[in-house]
Structure 1
Amino acid sequence: MGKSLYIAEKPSVAQEFAKALKQNMKRRDGWLESDESIVTWCVGHLVTMSYPEAYDPKYKKWSLSTLPFLPKEFKYEVIPNVKKQFDIVSGLLNRKDVDTIYVCTDSGREGEYIYRLVEQMAKVKGKTRKRVWIDSQTEEEILRGIREAKDLSAYDNLSASAYLRAKEDYLMGINFSRILTLKYGNSIAGFLHKNFVVLSAGRVMTCVLGMVVRREREIREFVKTPFYRVLANMDADGAAFQGEWKAVKGSRYEMSPKLYRENGFKDRETAQELIDELMDSDRMGALVSVEKKKEKKNPPLLFNLAELQNECSKRFKISPDETLRIVQELYEKKLVTYPRTDARVLSTAVAKEIHKNLNGLAKYEPTAELLGFIARERTHKGLEKTRYVNDSQITDHYAIIPTGQGLPALKSVSATGAKVYDLIVRRFLSIFYPPAVYQKLSLEMVLEGEHFFSGFKILTEEGFYKVTGIPGNKKGKSEEDEETVPDAELFARIQKLKKGDRIPVKGFEIKEGETSPPKRYNSGSMILAMENAGQLIEDEELRAQIKGSGIGTSATRAEILKKLIHIKYLSLNKKTQVITPTLMGELIYDAVDHSIRSLLNPELTASWEKGLTLVAEGQITSEEYMQKLEHFIAVRTNGVVGLNNQYQLKACYDKVSPYYKSMKK
């Protein structure tokens, strides 16, 4: 009987597989071996797509005459600096005493692609191939993955979508970067007083650049509008509070052109007129409505990678790329489950075994006491019937949760890494706690036919905030904008008020405000906007409902952002994580906007990603997808050749350059 060969994506992962197999493995140069098995590894990608000049030397020179470049057969080559490891892996794959290959690369589209390219270049034939698909690197999960490994052919559609994603990025990058550089590179270089400029374009990166530039221009063109609100200062038996005037039905200002929305005026003079009129009254308001209600706030859904990147950007001011690096390290140290996931829920199978994760976390000191409540109340029972478990919302992997294992490895994690782990643990434990409960109180008072409104909100039951911290508190800092939360004594007094009560008005004041421009993206909100196809959806419940194919994938979004910053199309403020375009980025945006505008369209970019998902699901064929892709590239590339819009673009460059005076020499 032949040997089994296990091929992992990284040396550290291969080491975990070797440990889990519990065989007397001997270390060789580039692999581990026992009497029954061999364990080897890639070092990320070992094989890549060849540059155009590998097809024909004429493609080395960038020329309009060689575009569009659409080869019928694609060429691949071994990456030179990892050739030694490729030769080792290739030799092992083809060894006569190896009869079964276990593919243990990362469980996702990119991991599939890494292995398939190696197999293709190594020309492997006549072997049984099994796919190990795991959600964490614990020994138990590794052994389950090996035991339940399916035939590799079950992942052929996923492999097809991986090949297509690479071809798409390759063809769009080569054709659009070349045509845009040939057409506009000289004019942009001249404008910036540079010798030459290469315009880098891509399916995802150009779209993201567009989102940032559009947002910057919205902010630039925004005109602030001042408005003036009228507030009444009231005192009910020592309980002092304010009411806000609104022009509701019955008001003398209802539908007035002097209004800025219903709760303010365009001019201070009009606000003062209203106050002057009300000052002449007896200043005793009548309480016409007292509304009391409880509001429950459920624990949020679990983290997927985008949510975690957004939260870490807000809390710890770290980039999405850094968050991914940290959570990948936590995964490799067996502390958390697979990080490159879009799902925010668990599978039914995992929910039934969740006690194992909880038991392991009893040894994690910062939250150990929180597990007492879960154990006492047995709140983990019936988890599969909650909103935190939904098999239909999981494609490759479930949400990121702590495994409850590997805790000694926390000592070797950075201080920020430990904070990220704590965040994941607390989000996980919070789903076993009850909702937080607020008591809300709304008052409506009428004075001389004018209505004033007051709203109060106080936390009466901490619920899951015991785990995550109360929003606004240091323990759980949040940007949530809660209504006024008075102290308990004031709230108790106001609660005694009832409909019909007369309330003395001590005076009035004008509060000036102004409209706000849209917010710039920060690195975290950018990732969320990419996940939601260009829409920055702040509401977490709504995000869960809208979930679909976004721009890029959980595995690639941080890398795209990092690349745009590296090539200086975007600028990142490391302290605040706020993202802005550079002058170069804006000029390239204008060039694309006047030539291949659809590249800037988030919905279109997301639809390409959706198409890859349909290939992975077997709903459309690779041929159908490739046909559409080649047509899209050919039409757009040929369209740019015929354009004559340099003069028009010069006007665009002139318009934007004053905002970057210090940068343009």
Structure 2
Amino acid sequence: MKNLYIAEKPSVARQFADVLGVKGNAGNGYLESDTAVVTWCVGHLVTMSYPEVYDPNLKKWSLSTIPFIPTEYKYEVLPDTKKQFNIVAGLLNRDDIGCIYVATDSGREGEYIYRLVDSMAHVTGKEKRRVWIDSQTEEEILRGIREAKPLSEYDSLSDAAYLRAQEDYLMGINFSRALSLKFSNVVQRYLGMDRCVIAVGRVMTCVLGIIVKREREIREFVKTPFYRLVANVGEEGQTFDAEWKAVKGTKYFESPLLYKENGFKERPAAEQLLAELKAGEPEAVAQAVERKKEKKQPPMLYNLAELQNDCSSFFKISPSDTLKIVQELYEKKLVTYPRTDARVLSTAVAKEIGRNISGLKNFQPVAEFAQGAMESGTYKGIAKTKYVNDKQITDHYAIIPTGQGFGALRSLAPTALKVYEIICRRFLSIFYPAAEYQKVAMTLSKNGEKLFANFKYLINDGYLKVAANSFSKKKDDVKYSPEFIARLAKIKKGDKLSVQGIDIKEGETSPPKRYNSGSLILTMENAGQFIEDEALREQIKGAGIGTSATRDGIITKLEKNKYISLNKKTQIVTPTFLGEIIYDIVYYSINGLLRADLTASWEKGLEGVAEGQISKQEYTDKMTTFVTKYTNLVKQIQNQNGITGVFDKTKVFYAKGGGAQKKETRATARTGAKAEKNADTQ
């Protein structure tokens, strides 16, 4: 009997084949030896069927046929991959196959991909084991095979995967049809479109809501000018800034002239104080001097969201591009599994971490730091630090370099090489000491008013020398000369310090910043920030909007639907007029789809199913009740034509882009049918 190994992608299957010594012609759709067969799924081979497969009458969109809630879901083989499905199904049912090793990606979606194939191929009477690995190194693949558990131990994860797909299907079908039937004609006429499909989804619509709300906060923000007074204290060439503040016991404390304690609403008031401060001797007296050391610890390791955020900032690439790059690094054995939410290592990995560090001596940009970490021996105690925590790991630990695969470095594009470098530097940083700063806080008195100085300087760079990327511009961290630092160290209470000058600094309050693709990913990961109720926030702690594997896809889908714009150079995300119209339609019909807490609670629920804490039936009941309730509510809407008055309020901000908007919305219409079936891919 032979063992059958099923990977998710051909490239991964080749890695398994190499490790197992299986050779052959991959053009057959599989590789075979005397003891093993290796094949692959090329991603999804099976999909959920459209409603018309259940009943031909459901092909036509009608309010009378929704809510559509199947009692049993139907699936079908994707036409484009039917050939590979038939190959895999044939292998699964071959008489000489004894044990099936499922080696699709180690996560919810990978589980779903195999289970669909298994179900459609009607596989029975075979032993099935699950290979769960964190990297594609030879040692890890062999360990995964050796320690493979019965597939049945992952049934709860499979249930969660099926429920996620069913939930997105139900919302996509029912809500997109209901809203389109009620509002598409209104939108068509309003925008002069040929056709309109209103595509909504569990995660996609919530993310659209986050983007639109931020844009509207920016529009509604009213800038407030304020005027601060800042003194330049010390000797010429050796000075520091001290800012005036109105504190208790001083003339302007709680004055209505103030914007805040450190500034005035109007310039004349600031000028009046400036004249008062400049009067008399050009000196200030030190009333209090505090010095203390501050440590800055190395940051936590990368998970996918943090890496996508940094890559958006450093390289101006989208989350999708980051995922493609880190997936390539994973498949070339350079880094561990990328689709992870964890930012820590497991205890088991910590015991062997010296191999990862030592291997990096072969990567020139960080070789000296890898050598230093090995020589210091700090890695031996890493398990006792905050960087190792088994409780914070669900499927996979943080993204770290494997310390292997260096033969592939020459094949990497320049940006991919930089991404690998920042992963290596973040990893090695945790084996170096904290950076140390000397903080100085001074309170100065002049003419009865108080000036405050707060600054710090670096006294030990610690891990910072490891974290400094080779491609970044070198920052000059030495703001103060040794002579100046020595002088600062001598200042004590009662000393008189020369005031070189005092200036009025005009400023203004700033609106919230627009999201870039990276900060949006982090916002999706940390959905709890939008929840005011502390108990609920704690309840869904750790649950984000979407998953690490699919958040980038949601942004891509919104962009493809022309609901948002993503600036390729800056990665700044803004809504389109159509996107704001969709937001308003949902707000006045199924506004729960815009709530981050509700979306995050669904994701938390799916986690509960995966962990066996919530039953499949319990989640199904909640899901179908929600879909049924809100589909019926939309069906009852009668005043949909009145919503154009809401659109008018937004229209003024897009007055110049009308032609482009029509072009965009026509493109959206063409993708409507697909969007309806599966508005999210979570």
TM-score w.r.t. the length of structure 2 is 0.93
Who is 1:642 aligned against? 636
* CA 1:598–1:121: 2 relative to 1, 3 Å: same
Amino acid at match of 1:300: P
Output one character per residue of 1:499-529: Cα deviation in whole Å (capped at 9) or x when no partner: 1101233432110000000000000000000
Amino acid at match of 2:259: Y
CA contact (8 A) 2:23 2:31 kept: no
Who is 1:111 aligned against? 110
Distance in 2 between residues matched to 1:600 and 1:474, nearest whole Å: 41
Give the deviation of 1:429 after TM superposition.
0.6
Superposition map of 1:472-621 within 5 A: 474-475=473-474, 485-533=479-527, 535=529, 548-621=542-615
* CA 1:628–1:138: 2 relative to 1, 3 Å: same
* CA 1:646–1:28: 2 relative to 1, 3 Å: closer
Output one character per residue of 1:545-594: Cα deviation in whole Å (capped at 9) or x when no partner: 99601000000000000110111100001110000000000001000000
CA contact (8 A) 2:236 2:500 kept: no
CA contact (8 A) 1:4 1:36 kept: yes
Give the deviation of 1:182 after TM superposition.
0.8
Determine whether 1:660 maps to 2:659.
no
Distance in 1 between residues matched to 2:123 and 2:305, nearest whole Å: 37
Amino acid at match of 1:568: K
Indicate the percent of aligned positions where both proteins have the same amino acid: 61
* CA 1:384–1:476: 2 relative to 1, 3 Å: farther
- Structure 2, unmatched stretches of 5+, are 532-536, 660-682
Amino acid at match of 2:319: P
Determine whether 1:98 maps to 2:120.
no
CA contact (8 A) 2:358 2:374 kept: no
* CA 1:632–1:485: 2 relative to 1, 3 Å: farther
Secondary structure, in 3 states, of the residue corresponding to 1:38? strand
Who is 1:293 aligned against? 292
Who is 1:169 aligned against? 168
Superposition map of 1:391-406 within 5 A: 391-406=390-405
CA contact (8 A) 2:293 2:439 kept: yes
Who is 2:148 aligned against? 149
Distance in 2 between residues matched to 1:319 and 1:473, nearest whole Å: 19
Distance in 2 between residues matched to 1:470 and 1:57, nearest whole Å: 59
Determine whether 1:187 maps to 2:186.
yes
Distance in 1 between residues matched to 2:215 and 2:44, nearest whole Å: 36
Distance in 2 between residues matched to 1:40 and 1:279, nearest whole Å: 81
Output one character per residue of 1:31-70: Cα deviation in whole Å (capped at 9) or x when no partner: 1111111111111000000000000011111111111110
Match of 1:623 among 596, 617, 627: 617
Who is 1:358 aligned against? 357
Distance in 1 between residues matched to 2:539 and 2:481, nearest whole Å: 36
Who is 1:434 aligned against? 433
* CA 1:409–1:544: 2 relative to 1, 3 Å: farther
Output one character per residue of 1:474-494: Cα deviation in whole Å (capped at 9) or x when no partner: 1589xxxx9x94344333322
Output one character per residue of 1:104-145: Cα deviation in whole Å (capped at 9) or x when no partner: 000000000000000000000000000000000001100000
Secondary structure, in 3 states, of the residue corresponding to 1:4? strand
Who is 2:272 aligned against? 273
Secondary structure, in 3 states, of the residue corresponding to 2:437? strand
Superposition map of 1:68-467 within 5 A: 68-236=67-235, 239-467=238-466
Distance in 1 between residues matched to 2:41 and 2:197, nearest whole Å: 33
* CA 1:449–1:150: 2 relative to 1, 3 Å: same
Choose 490-499 or 573-582, whichever is displaced more.
490-499
Choose 192-201 or 369-378, whichever is displaced more.
369-378
Amino acid at match of 1:335: L
- Which has the bigger relative contact order, CA under 8 A and spacing at least 6? 2
CA contact (8 A) 1:239 1:493 kept: no
CA contact (8 A) 1:334 1:405 kept: yes
* CA 1:138–1:228: 2 relative to 1, 3 Å: same
Give the deviation of 1:174 after TM superposition.
0.8
* CA 1:475–1:552: 2 relative to 1, 3 Å: farther
Give the deviation of 1:27 after TM superposition.
5.2
Give the deviation of 1:544 after TM superposition.
13
* CA 1:612–1:352: 2 relative to 1, 3 Å: same
TM-score w.r.t. the length of structure 1 is 0.95
CA contact (8 A) 1:528 1:536 kept: no
Determine whether 1:41 maps to 2:35.
no
- Structure 1, unmatched stretches of 5+, are 538-542
How many pairs are equivalent? 654
Distance in 1 between residues matched to 2:233 and 2:475, nearest whole Å: 33
Distance in 1 between residues matched to 2:647 and 2:502, nearest whole Å: 51
CA contact (8 A) 1:137 1:331 kept: yes
Distance in 2 between residues matched to 1:509 and 1:572, nearest whole Å: 41
Secondary structure, in 3 states, of the residue corresponding to 1:252? coil
Who is 2:667 aligned against? none
Amino acid at match of 1:410: L
Give the deviation of 1:210 after TM superposition.
0.3
Distance in 2 between residues matched to 1:52 and 1:476, nearest whole Å: 59
Amino acid at match of 2:405: G
Distance in 2 between residues matched to 1:326 and 1:438, nearest whole Å: 36
Amino acid at match of 2:73: F
CA contact (8 A) 2:439 2:455 kept: yes
CA contact (8 A) 1:5 1:38 kept: yes
CA contact (8 A) 1:469 1:476 kept: no
Distance in 2 between residues matched to 1:424 and 1:508, nearest whole Å: 46
Secondary structure, in 3 states, of the residue corresponding to 1:548? coil
Give the deviation of 1:472 after TM superposition.
12
Choose 636-645 or 65-74, whichever is displaced more.
636-645
Who is 1:540 aligned against? none
Give the deviation of 1:496 after TM superposition.
2.0
